[in-house]
């Protein structure tokens, strides 16, 4: 029996929701270990669509425990709203379904406001990152700056005022510099006390809980948000998210030792998309890119923003395989490419006249790289809804095999539609 870590191997939006839901049926505990409510998963179960952001995917299933780890930054109002939405769909989130790390950082209204102020200023100067303006980055800044308000602080009203004062010393100085009004202490105190009774019943020493579950032999599924190329260290900096999105963060963001992580499953879309600003070597600003976007319904679960679309980039995914230690991939949305006469795969880059096989860390070099393509024949048949290799057109199988060879990792699962049962299982990640 092993644990499984699910990570995105591109810029996010690879279809992790369906795969995590498929795996959660085999898991006992599902842990969200990084990010905030700027990422979302769409689950389709028996025809019902669930849209999750902060809640781990396992909460939609009876008998599964969802855990929000210390690596997540939590907007309490967004979490309460999400739980209410689930209740409206017939799933009541109580303490038997959800635990929240007592040392997780909270996102406050001042974080959302600062995020928006900065993006507005950056838009005027042409340097915007393309954040979701939900306060994720500023909350992580306060965490690293050792001035964050955490879940456990909601339980101690005697020490909370001093923590708020320390936080406001920093934020009001920033707001003065931005020409914005200062925040009054009581506003933040009232904001926190208004949610305390709704959040505190879920708090838990998550590191201890997971250690106990590991010793019991429970299967634990670690659920990441965003994708490897949005990692604060390993992504296309500065056009990245504010946390580490790679598999190693599953340990740091939950409190469980790295030796317990187990199988690393990289979710990989059969083409490439990204949301927001930043480099995208294989982007298609033509009818093929439009075709992929429309056929693939490429709109953000949380933001509704259109995703930029392009050909599969094996260089990026091969790099993600290395930085995550990926054991196998779940290849998604193969069916979106049904009917294309030819399909291109990026197999390298040209940089200043030299061919390279990696994504440079330099922003300037990233802007100058040009993709080198291998061209494959498309397929006329359909892959949509296929549940075995025999159901796939020969050229589709050839494409999958070529992807495996180029990225240096096998396909463990192949998804052929949003429906959870339209999945070809090659290797069960939960097997020893």
Return the active site residues.
Answer: 13, 41
| Among the listed residues 344, 351, 356, the one whose alpha carbon sits nearest the alpha carbon of residue 313 | 344
Using CA atoms, how far apart are residues 260 and 207, in angstroms rounded to an integer? Answer: 12
Rg of the chain on CA atoms, in Å: 22
Class of residue 180 by CB neighbours under 10 A (exposed 0-12, middle 13-18, buried 19+): middle
Using CA atoms, how far apart are residues 54 and 67, in angstroms rounded to an integer? Answer: 10
φ and ψ at 80, to 5 degrees? -60, -40
**What DSSP string describes 251-270?**
HHTTT--GGG--EEEEEEES
Using CA atoms, how far apart are residues 220 and 5, in angstroms rounded to an integer? Answer: 8
φ and ψ at 113, to 5 degrees? -65, -45
Q: How many residues does the chain have?
A: 432
Structure tokens at 248: 């190693």
Run of H or E including 43: strand 41-45
Count the alpha carbons within 13 Å of 60 in the hemisphere toward its beta carbon.
29
Q: Are 148 and 188 in contact (CB under 8 A)?
A: no
């Amino acid at each position: 029996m092993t644990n499984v870590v699910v990570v995105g191997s591109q810029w996010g939006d690879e279809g992790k929701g369906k795969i995590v839901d498929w795996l959660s049926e085999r898991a006992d505990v599902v842990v969200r270990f990084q990010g905030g409510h700027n990422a979302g998963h769409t689950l389709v179960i028996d025809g019902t669509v669930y849209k999750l952001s902060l809640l781990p995917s396992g909460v939609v299933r009876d008998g599964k425990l969802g855990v929000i780890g210390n690596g997540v930054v939590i907007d309490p109002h967004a979490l309460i709203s999400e739980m209410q939405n689930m209740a409206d769909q017939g799933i009541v989130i109580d303490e038997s379904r959800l635990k929240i790390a007592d040392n997780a950082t909270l996102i406050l209204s001042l974080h959302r406001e600062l995020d928006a102020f900065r993006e507005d200023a950056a838009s005027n100067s042409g340097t915007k990152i393309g954040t979701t303006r939900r306060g994720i980055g500023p909350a992580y800044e306060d965490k690293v700056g050792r001035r964050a308000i955490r879940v456990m602080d909601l339980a101690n009203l005697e020490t909370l005022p001093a923590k708020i004062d320390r936080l406001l010393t920093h934020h009001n100085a920033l707001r003065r510099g931005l020409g914005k009004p200062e925040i009054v202490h009581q506003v933040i105190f009232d904001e926190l006390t208004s949610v305390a009774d709704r959040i505190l019943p879920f708090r838990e020493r998550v590191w201890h809980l997971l250690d106990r579950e590991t010793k019991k032999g429970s299967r634990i599924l670690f659920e990441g948000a965003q994708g490897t190329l949005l990692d604060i260290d390993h992504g296309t900096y500065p056009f990245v998210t504010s946390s580490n999105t790679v598999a190693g963060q599953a340990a740091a963001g939950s409190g469980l030792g790295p030796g317990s992580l187990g199988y690393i499953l990289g979710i990989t879309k059969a083409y490439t998309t990204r949301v927001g600003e930043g480099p995208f070597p294989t982007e298609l600003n033509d009818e093929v890119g439009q075709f992929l976007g429309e056929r693939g319904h490429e709109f953000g679960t949380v933001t509704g923003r259109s995703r930029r679309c392009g050909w599969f980039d094996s260089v990026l995914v091969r790099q993600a395989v290395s930085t995550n230690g990926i054991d196998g991939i779940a290849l998604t949305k193969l069916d979106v490419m049904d009917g294309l006469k030819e399909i291109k795969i990026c197999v390298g880059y040209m940089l200043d006249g030299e061919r390279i096989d990696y994504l440079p860390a330099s922003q300037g070099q990233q802007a100058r790289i040009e993709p080198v393509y291998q061209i494959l024949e498309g397929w006329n048949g359909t892959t949509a809804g296929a549940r075995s290799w025999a159901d796939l057109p020969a050229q589709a199988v050839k494409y999958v095999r070529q992807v495996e060879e180029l990225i240096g990792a096998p396909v463990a699962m192949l998804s052929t539609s949003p429906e959870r049962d339209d999945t070809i299982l090659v290797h069960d990640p939960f097997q020893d």
